[in-house]
Amino acid sequence: MDGQGFLLVCVAVPLLGSFILPLVGRVSVRLRNILALLFVLTSFMAAIRLLPQAFSGGNPVMAKLVLPAGFTLGFMGDSLAVFMALVSSFVGALIVFYSFGYIEHYENQNEYYMMVVLFLGAMMGLVFSTNLVLLYLFWEISAICCWRLIGFFREKQIILRADKAFLVTVGGAVLMLLGFISIYAQTGTFDLTAMKGADISNLAVILILFGILSKSATLPFHTWLPDAGVAPSPVTSLLHAAVLVKIGVYVFARLFLVNFNLADIWNVAVPVIAGISALVAAGAALVENDLKRIIAYSTVSQLGFIFLGLSCGSPIGIAGGLLYIFMHGLAKGGLFLCAGIVEHATHTKDIRKLGGLFSAMPVTAIAFLFCGFSVMGFPPFGGFFAKYMVIGGAVDAGQPWIALTFALGAILTIIYLMRAFIKVFLGSVSFPGAKEGSWEMVFSVGILGLLSLLAGIFINIPAELVDSIVSVLTGITIGG
Amino acid sequence: MNGLGFNTFIYLVIIPALAGIVILFLPKKERLIKSLLVFAATLFNLITAIRLFGLEETWHTKWGGLSNFGIDFALRTDRLSMFILLAVGAMAFLVAFYSFAFLRDKDYGKGFYFYYLITIAFVNGAVLANNLVLMLFFWEGLLVTLFGMLLLKGRHKYPTAVKALTLVGVSDLALMLGVGVTGFAAGTLMMDKITAIPVEGIAVLGFVMMMLGAIGKAGSMPFHSWIPDAADDAPLPFMAILPGALEKLLGIYLLVRICLPGTGLYEFLPHTPVSTVVMAIGALTIIFAVAMALIQKDFKRLLSYHAISQVGYMVLGIGTALPIGIVGGLFHMVNNAIYKSCLFLSAGAVERQTGTTDLKKISGLGAFMPVTMICFLVAALSISGFPPFNGFFSKELVFDAAMESGIIFYIAALLGAFMTAASFLKLGHAAFFGKPQLPEDKKVKEAPAAMLVPMIILAAACILFGVWNSLPLGQLIQPVLGDAMAGHNYAGWPHTPLLVIISIIVLILAIANHFFGVKRTGKGLGAVDHIHYAPGLHFIYNRAEERWFDPYEILMVISKFFAWIAYGIDRAIDWIYNGFFVWVANSVSKGLKEFNTGKQSQYVIWAVSGLLIVIFVFAVLVK
Amino acid sequence: MDNLLLIITGSWIALPLLVILICNLLDKKTGKSWALPAAIVVSIGQMITTGLGLLQLGLTKSGFINFTIFWNVNDFEEIARSAWASAFFSVDTLSLVVMFAIGMVSLISVLTAKKMNPDKALNFTNLLMVLIMGMNGLAMVADLFSLYVFLEITGVASFILIALYKDKKGLEGSFKYLIMSAMASAMILAGIAIMNAVTGGVTFSHISGLFASGSSLHTFHAISLVLLVAGIAIKAGLAPFHGWLPDAYESAPASVSVLLGGIVTKMAGVYAILRLAQDVFINAKGFNYSLLLLATVSIVYGAVAALKQKDFKRILAYSSISQIGYIVLGAVCGSPLGFIGAMLHFFNHATFKSTLFVNSAALESQVKTRNIEEMGGLAKQMPLTGTSSVLALLSTAGIPPLAGFWSKLLIIIAVWQTGHSLIAGIAVFASVFTLAYFLMIQRKVFYGPAEEKFAGVREVKGGLAVSQVMLSVITVVMGIIFPLVLLFFQTRGMI
Amino acid sequence: MNLPILLLLLGLMVVAAVAAVMIRSLLKSAIALAALSIVLAITLFFLGAPLAALFELSVCAGLITVIFISAISLTGNKPKEEEEEKIRERRARFLKLPIFLLIIGVFVSLAWIANGINISGISDPAAPTFQTFKNLFWNMRQVDILGQVIVILAGAFAVVVLFKERDQA
């Protein structure tokens, strides 16, 4: 199979495969689970297979369907896309695996697996698509999946929150669509490759930012994300780590770093928004008492860092932002899965009621701590490099004060994550009968915790990928 | 660049780290193997440091994709780093040796060795690093081992661990920002290529942040308050090695790296505002920490406050930016590492033998533990600045520099010296002299040899470095300053007799004060009660004991305050979605619903109004 | 004209007529039992023939096919040029697309009506055939006056259909519709009369020639246009002419509201606007701008007003007002892309709105209520209804990859491109409201904790189930094959 | 065209109009109105306005009637006594109408004759020349014819659905 084939496999297998899962589920639960995992892994393997060509520096793999009126649809596997696909499909596969243990006692499993796999498929489609409409299409598919998955438990309040998430993200998305349309009105095409390097109006940028910020849960469109914590833990993990919020930052990178020339004003405006978002969310995380909401606010806060890195305009910052996506994916995925194990064992998420779980679930606790350290940015965990590069990037772009703001945000990160950790795992024992989760669950969090550490120690591997993306983005190789 | 350089450099990091990992995977029972492994690793570390001594080399390799952002895996040795490495190696070896005995019957030995070796690896790495980010990597990595070590004695000790993690984390984040700004201001992250960035514009931020990082690691104010708590909650070898020695070494190392005249990262000149600020931090640290030490009633806690206050002298000395001050500061750092470790180790010996370090429960131990007492006395006299122990000489150098920079700093330093002496008089008196008093059913003997040997070596070093101070000064410290030392030599007896006389007067005053206090209360422990319970001071002391001045508590209050504001903003935004939008949509919709009554006449009226709209559009367009 | 074409074109009027004749002339019992199957045959036949027609159309260069009804006149060419002649039908892509939709919705309506008693079934079939003929005629005429005639046929048939059960509500709704419709007729007729007087003719080609030449608007032209716009707006149910629409939809029997909501009011009003915008008032600014305004008002009004409704069908009615706005927007913005969008949205609207009305019928038959407040958690008992309603609602709200997204997208693009960016913004944002009220439906009806009292509820079977599946498939497939649709229009030369 | 036929037609119109107003049953009244339209259409045609005649035929005779029928069928009946009361009232009011109309008609006719106006001369010169009614009706507007057929069908069904069954009910 050639590159194009792998590209299409990467997108199509989970997208189409998801629809047969409910059918298979009627026959055999086990087979359905294995198939779900297989579909996601297929994507992952295909993405790996695309890796050499994407990073060889030559022309990226393309698959196109030429249509009239600038509607040409296409998939392209360039380095940025493959990188994102790898991160998402890998974390996604772990989450699916985790679900085997987590979800087995609940109803609507068929729909669950279908939506999760479809969700990841949409992510694959989104990262590879070269057409704004196609991008929007996958964007909204992910919103649908998100809606169904958040409302998984089918309670009135939960559904209200699912609806809220759907409405806020769609509200942003339609404005983004308007932005796309204004670009279309200007360039006459939706094909990104055909309009590379175009200058776009500030109006279009604002409109697109509405979409990106609402999807990536940045102030003032963020409150749906903490509310979405009512979903099953693998789902929140998926939203926060693998797919949903990453979509926004990916599209930001794809549009504003790769494709269009951004006016200078945005190199200040976006970091300022991101900074406010990072601080406010961090503060809220310190007040919250619901474990998942704390982690969710943490995501909002960390997304601020990612946006800072991507938007500040210096190569090191961009590299940091991309690295941050990777590290945050691993760590935040792990945190939520740990929270899931805790919730599974104790049936509460209120950290005031929890405590002393370390001895009952040591692996989970340590994985939580590892992931937490990565998010806090302590070496030798992976988050350190990302955090440094983002902050250093902001300084490099001549915005030391914004960097200082983010350093304050990072301080708050330490405080709230440690608060969560000690209240849940340390202190007096609150649930004497609590047990460690099933082996699938523990294995998944263990892997994520370990990877958070290994990604820091062997930083050169992800850094190599990121560097090659950045050198494509900026057209130059910095330093030596 | 030769092969030897690389291998030896990198092994300083790799060997201890590998040994640590191996220990982690060894079964709990294999005590001997673990001990041997630790012994071998630390010995290797010491020998390598000695072998490398005098080597000045740089070595660098690409660090994956990071290299393209100026982040190389670059190491170097110069006089400063070799000096620090040597000190680290020596301290690490001694404390490891001590721990074998101390930890024999503790169940957290494995974890301690693991963290211990990793810590040494990281410290070595941080000192060796030539790239600022690489340094930051190792530097901040210590946070994790710090956290782990503080949790060793049980998970209920977490408040201290979290406190330490937070405070040091804050200073490390400051350093992270500082590294970023420094790299930006200098255009490179390679430390050997950065010299004397003028402290102006954006570089001010970089300088301040680097400084915060350095003094935070050293345990100066305002990043100090976890240390006394750790004294209660952490295993004693930890106190001896980390707050007592390695963290000071590392913090002061960076401080000197930043401030060294001529070759430092920043242009740091005497009699400048920045210099004054740094000195002020040093002076405040001395006074407040020692004032707190004065009133402590616990052996380890008292020592831990001294661990803070001594940093003040180093910061003060280096902050003067004068060669004499920097030499003094570095010398004091070495001396402090020696006598403070010795003090902690003796505290450990007391703890191991009696089971407590609470001074109210023990006294007159001198009769049972003479060797410990002698080692303690040497170190205590040293830290109090009695001649001819090493502490005296380094303090005199700092006094000299402080005098030159401003009399106020000198007075602060003197005040500190007075209280240091007073508190150690009290401590020594209470613990080792007076009527023997022991906790029940305890037969107290002298500590085992494995613990005594390091203490004796350290006590001996106190005397050696005092009497023969040209050995450390001439061989180790003054070369660090390089050209700035031209024409100076601070070895030997202090050069300013007047200051020496004043110092001795202060010491005599301290002794007088002690006897006054003992007479008043009738026991050694109450020697400073008249200061503790003095009007006004009493109030402040009480507040301090209630942690009113604890920067961690203040940080928490500020964070909470900020968090509530942020939460308010967050809820307000959420209300816009959950409340406002829904309310508007519902009320508009409700209005429209009520509008649609089902009456035909109304429909006709609307239709007519619609017709009017259409007519209006046409009318506008026709014109 | 070859024979195949003759059969195809002939069937559009002849087939329903034939069914009426057969069913009414046979003995009563047979006629009644044959009525609904015959109607199904007609509907499916229409779907097939329009499909064939589209293929046939691809062979022609001109993009349309003209054909006479009863007989060929000798001097056809001359007559066709005459400003007064309405001697032939003319079909183009638009006609065929809407006729396909007519066939489809009729089929759904008949499937929904399966349970009717035989007497009603015969009457229903008769009127449905009249309605189909009316709508087909509407789709094919090329003359203003004939357009009016078929509008009235459609109207009359639907009045009676609404009142089919002669319950009080049905009669009332029907009467409201009738009165408003009569007002509309008067205006349209007056408009046509004035147009005739000032331009000297009533055929599309004649009038469009005058408008296309760009000559300035005469006052009488303007008056005529005002009357036409207002009249058609009433027929289409554009706000603020919409008053009758929710009442009529709500009060009609289930299978009739499928028809009404899916196709009838769209044919009567929206198709007329599409046709006039495309073929007649080409550069008439007043026509375009006034309808743009009304469309925008409708979009917002319909979406907002639906939020607080309790009756399932009423929500759908308001939703229709909103969706009609989109179609009109695309039709009158003056760009070919927008026109294609409007045409596709017309079709898609027929699909998803029929789905939703079928859902409503299914709920009504199983749960015995249409009040959404009284339902809850039915997705478990009625998975098919639940799923198809989700698909339809997402399509309505314009969420990709469903069909509704693409057509809406084209419309918005066109509106933006023609310089009405503010309107485009409003239109796009209104879809969030659309989503909001549909989410409300989902929340209150399907998606929620299963309730005790509905434990005995079962999924619908038979016609309702078939139509739900069929329509859902169309919605999804249309969404997925959209690129091909676009290619099709390119070959048609419309882009 | 000759006057007598015209007068005959006009007379028929008057009769139909009066019938439309006076007849008790609304349905029959509507049919009378349709008859009136047909006569009017014929008149218009003879007077040389074929197009107007055609539209009159389509609209008034066909559509309007059907709409009336639908409307009537949708509305309910009043109680019998009340309805009769109403009709009596109306009859009393309109009883003078025929006489009044007759007098006016006579006067207008006399005035026309006195002035010697040639009625056949009034025709729109701008109107196109249609060869025959047949051509106009069957060739040029055959779509409308079809429409009429369907309209009438619809009207028939309206009656069937709404009247016939109501009586049964």
Inspect the interface and report whether the beta carbons of B156 and A426 lie closer than 8 Å: yes
- A478 → closest Cβ in B69, B566, B576: B69
Q: Contact D74/C163, CB-based, under 8 Å?
A: yes
Question: What's chain D's Rg over C-alpha atoms?
Answer: 19
Average pLDDT, chain C: 85
Return the closest-CA partner of residue B37 out of B144, B95, B117, B104: B117
Q: Which residue is closest to A461 within chain B, CA to CA?
A: B64
Average confidence (pLDDT) over B256-276: 82
Flag the least confident range among A174-178, B58-62, B328-332, C35-39: B58-62
Q: What share of chain B is helix, strand, coil (3-state, %, to 5)?
A: 75, 5, 20
For residue D162, the SS3 value is helix
Chain C residues in contact with B600 by the CB 8 A cut-off are 175-176, 179, 243
What local confidence, expressed as pLDDT, does residue B91 receive? 85
Q: How far is A463 from chain B (nearest CA, A)?
A: 4
Q: What's the confidence (pLDDT) of residue D137?
A: 66
State whether the Cα torsion C390-C393-C397-C400 is positive or negative: positive
DSSP H or E segment with residue D142: helix D142-159
Q: Which of B445-454, B570-579, C92-101, C434-443 has the lowest mean pLDDT?
A: B445-454
Phi, psi of D75 (to 5 degrees): -90, 150
Whether the pLDDT of residue C102 is over 90: the answer is yes
Query: B256 Cβ partners below 8 Å, 6+ apart?
Result: B80, B264, B318, B326, B329, B330, B480
At B337, the amino acid letter reads A
Q: Mind listing the pLDDT tens digit for each residue in B340-354?
A: 888 888 888 888 888
**A292/A299 Cα distance (integer angstroms):** 10
Q: What six digits make up the tokens of C318?
A: 């308001």
Chains D and A, touching by 3 or more CB pairs within 8 angstroms: no
Q: CB contact, 8 Å: C425 with chain A?
A: yes
Output b/e per residue, A434-457; b: 16+ Cβ within 10 A. Answer: bebbbebbbbbbbbbbebbbbbbe
Percent of chain B clearing pLDDT 70 (strictly above): 97
> A74 pairs with which residues across the strands?
A64
Angle at B521 between CA B515 and CA B527, to 5 degrees: 45
Tell which A residues from 341 to 370 touch B, by Cβ distance under 8 Å: 356, 358-359
What's the CA gap between B137 and B500, in Å, rounded? 43
> Shortest CA distance to B474 belongs to which of B79, B128, B92?
B79
Q: What are phi and psi for residue A190, nearest 5 degrees?
A: -105, -5
Label residue C495 by pLDDT band (50, 70, 90): low
Chain C residue numbers with beta carbons less than 8 Å from the beta carbon of A160 are 443
pLDDT digits (tens, 9 = 90+) for C192-207: 888 888 887 788 888 8
Which of A65, A142, A163, A190 to probe by mutation at the C interface, max C CB count within 10 Å? A163
Distance CA A245, CA A231 (A): 15
Residue A478 pLDDT exceeds 50 = no
| Segment B187-245, tens digit of pLDDT | 888 888 888 788 778 888 888 888 888 888 888 878 888 888 888 777 877 887 887 77
Q: Give the DSSP letter of residue C239.
A: T
The answer to whether A370 and A288 are in contact (CB under 8 A) is no
pLDDT top residue among B444 and A425: A425
Highest mean pLDDT among B584-593, C55-64, D52-61: B584-593
Q: Is B579 helix (H, G, I), strand (E, B) or coil?
A: helix
- Minimal Cα–Cα distance from A301 to chain B, Å? 12
Per-residue pLDDT band at A477 (split at 50, 70, 90): very low
**pLDDT at residue C299 in the model:** 92
Region at B126 (left for phi over 0; alpha for psi -120 to 50; beta for the rest): alpha
Name every residue whose Cβ is closer than 8 Å to that of residue B516 and which is 6 or more positions away in sequence: B530
Helical ranges in B433-482 per DSSP H:
449-467, 470, 478-481
Q: Give the helix/strand (H/E) hosting C68.
A: strand C64-68
Q: What is the DSSP string of B319-379?
A: HT-SHHHHHHHHHHHHHHHHHHHHHHHHHHHHHHHHS--BTTT-B-GGGT-HHHHHHHHHH
Q: How far is CA B415 from the centre of its chain?
A: 23
Contact yes or no for B603 and C307 at CB 8 A:
no
D75, D126, D128 member nearest C175 (Cβ): D75
Q: pLDDT, tens digit, for every residue of C127-184?
A: 899 999 999 999 998 888 889 989 988 988 888 888 888 788 888 888 888 888 888 9
Count the alpha carbons within 13 Å of C4 in the hemisphere toward its beta carbon: 10
Contact by Cβ (8 Å): B317, B325: yes
Is residue A30 classed exposed, middle or buried when 0-12, 13-18 and 19+ CB atoms within 10 A define those classes?
exposed
Low-confidence winner among B73-77, B437-441, C363-367 (lowest mean pLDDT):
B437-441
Residue C337 has pLDDT above 90, yes or no: no
pLDDT class of D1 with cuts at 50, 70, 90: low
**C210-246 confidence digits (pLDDT tens):** 777 766 667 788 888 889 999 999 998 888 888 888 8
Closest residue on chain B to A429 (Cα): B156
Chain-centre distance of CA B402, in angstroms?
22
pLDDT band for position B5 (cuts 50, 70, 90)? low
Q: Which residues of A touch B556 (CB under 8 A)?
A: 415
> Residue C123: its chain D contacts at CB < 8 A?
157, 160-161
List phi, psi (to 5°) of D78.
-80, 165
Task: Indicate the SS3 state at residue B437.
Answer: strand
DSSP character for B447?
Answer: P
Enclosing H/E stretch for C90: strand C88-92
pTM: 0.87
Query: Can you state the angle between helices B79-102 and B109-128, rounded to 10 degrees?
Result: 180
How many residues make up chain A in this entry? 480
Pairing of strands B57-61, A61-65: unpaired
Q: Measured between alpha carbons, how far is C409 from C412 in angstroms, rounded to an integer?
A: 5
| Nearest-by-CA chain D residue for C147 | D144
- How high is the pLDDT of residue A1? 60
**Looking at this protein, which amino acid is placed at residue C366?**
Q
Q: What is the pLDDT of residue B310?
A: 87
Which of the 8 DSSP states describes residue A429? Answer: -
Look up residue A274 and give its amino acid: A
C-beta separation of B431 from B446 below 8 A:
no
CB within 8 Å: A154 and C412: no
Instruction: State the CB neighbour count (10 A cutoff) for residue B582.
Output: 16
> Are the beta carbons of D63 and C20 separated by less than 8 Å?
no
At A192, list the tokens. Answer: 């990104």
The predicted model gives A179-208 an average pLDDT of 84
Distance of alpha carbon B304 from alpha carbon B601, whole angstroms: 90
pLDDT of res. A169: 87
Name A380's Cβ contacts closer than 8 Å, sequence gap at least 6: A453, A456, A457, B137, B141, B144
What is the arithmetic mean of pLDDT over B15-44?
84
**Nearest CA distance, A33 vs chain B (angstrom):** 35
Q: Which pLDDT does position A476 carry in this prediction?
A: 43
Q: Which pLDDT tens digit goes with each residue over D122-144?
A: 444 444 555 566 666 666 777 88
Counting CB pairs under 8 A, whether chains A and C reach 3 or more, is yes
In sequence order, which residues have a C-beta less than 8 Å from that of residue A68 and are 6 or more positions away?
C486, C487, C489, C490, C495
Helix (H) / strand (E) containing C471: helix C462-480
Q: Residue B369 above 80 pLDDT?
A: yes
> Does residue B447 surpass a pLDDT of 90?
no
Residues of C in contact with B593 (CB under 8 A): 305, 308-309
Structure confidence at residue B2 (pLDDT)? 44
Q: B490 φ, ψ to 5°?
A: -100, 5
Q: Which amino acid is at A217?
A: A
Provide mean pLDDT across the span A409-438.
85
| Confidence at C100, pLDDT banded by 50, 70, 90 | very high
Q: Per-residue pLDDT for D167 more than 60?
A: no
Q: What are phi and psi of A65, to 5 degrees?
A: -130, 110
φ/ψ of residue C335, rounded to 5: -125, 140
pLDDT tens-digit map of B116-171: 888 888 988 888 888 888 888 888 888 888 888 888 877 777 888 888 888 888 88
pLDDT at position A82 is: 87
For B587, counting Cβ atoms within 10 Å of its Cβ (0-12 exposed, 13-18 middle, 19+ buried), the class is: exposed
- Closest residue of D to C159, CA-based? D70
Question: In this predicted structure, what is the pLDDT of residue C349?
Answer: 92
Q: Hey, are the CB atoms on C79 and D139 less than 8 Å from each other?
A: yes
What single string gives the DSSP state of each residue in A357-387? Answer: -TTT-HHHHHHHHHHHHHHHT-TTSTHHHHH
User: How far is A450 from A448, CA to CA, in rounded Å?
Assistant: 5
pLDDT at C32: 81
Domains of chain A by residue range = 1-262, 264-480
